[in-house]
Chains A and B, each alone.
Chain A
Amino acid sequence: DTGVSQDPRHKITKRGQNVTFRCDPISEHNRLYWYRQTLGQGPEFLTYFQNEAQLEKSRLLSDRFSAERPKGSFSTLEIQRTEQGDSAMYLCASSLISDFDSPLHFGNGTRLTVT
C-alpha cells in the first residue's frame, strides 16, 4: 500500500491554458473522489467515481472541468481555459466500497496557480 499519489505536486499556468492532473488511488480502492481546497477553507467535493463510472458531480464542477477514470484505476482531472479563480489545491481521495461512511485516504494534492 503506497497510498494515494497525485501528479504533479505543483502547476503554474497562464490564464486560458488547459491543465490535466493525475491521481493514482490505493490499488484495491474502487471509489475515487476529487476535492478542491482554497486557502483557509475545508475541501469542497467536486466529483466521485465508483470503478470507472462517474456517479456524482457537484455544481462546483463547471463545463470547463472534466474527470475520467477510464479503467477504474487512475483518474485524470482536466481544466480547460483556466481562470484565476481556479487557483486552489486539488485533492484526490480513494476509499473501499462498504458504505458511504468509509474513511477517505487523501493524496497530497496538486497545487494549481493560474497567473
Chain B
Amino acid sequence: TQLLEQSPQFLSIQEGENLTVYCNSSSVFSSLQWYRQEPGEGPVLLVTVVTGGEVKKLKRLTFQFGDARKDSSLHITAAQPGDTGLYLCAGSGGGADGLTFGKGTHLIIQP
C-alpha cells in the first residue's frame, strides 16, 4: 500500500506571509497531483508533476517534485485569504487502483 504523509496537518498564518507544505512517501510515484478542496466541495486539481526534480509555478504557488519521485512540496508566496483551504497531494503508482491521497494540510490565511 502506497502511503502519502502530508505536513503540517494544520497551518494558520497571517496574510502576506510565505509558507511551504510537504508531501512525503517511501514509495515511488509515476506522478503526483496537488488538489485544493473547500468546505462542502470536491477537490479541484491545481497541478500534476511527472518528472523527478520538476518545478511548476502557478501564480504565487510553486510545486516541486523530488528527484526520486517520492516527495513533493508546495510553496505559497505572499499568502492571501483566498488561499484558505485543504491542500491534498495524490500519487499515482501507474497502476489501476486510482490515486492515493494524503490526509491533507488545512491552511488558514488570516486577514
Residues of A within 8 A of B (CB): 4, 33, 35, 40-45, 48, 55-56, 58, 91, 93, 99-101, 103-109
Contacts and interface: CB of A to CB of B under 8 A. Distances in A.
Given A42-B102, A56-B96, A101 B31 contact: yes
A45 B103 contact: no
B103 A103 contact: no
A93 B97 CA distance: 14
Interface stretch (B12-20, B36-44, B52-60, B73-81): B36-44
Overall SS of chain B's interface? loop
Contacts, number: 66
Contacts of A107: 42
A58 B42 contact: no
A45 B45 contact: no
A108 B103 contact: no
A104 B103 contact: no
Contact of B42 (A99, A100, A109): A109
A108 B40 CA distance: 7
A48 B98 contact: yes
Nearest to B91: A101
A67 to B, nearest CB: 13
Nearest to B97: A56
Interface of B: 4, 6, 30-31, 33, 35, 40-45, 48, 50, 88, 90, 92, 94-104
B101 A100 contact: no
A40 B6 CA distance: 12
B104 A42 contact: yes
Given A100-B94, A101-B50, A106 B101 contact: no
Closest 3 CB pairs of A and B: A106-B42, A42-B101, A45-B98
Given A4-B42, A93-B42, A56 B98 contact: yes
A56 B97 CA distance: 6
Contacts of A43: 43, 88, 101
Contact of B101 (A40, A44, A108): A44
Contacts of B30: 100-101
A106 B104 contact: no
A101 B97 contact: no
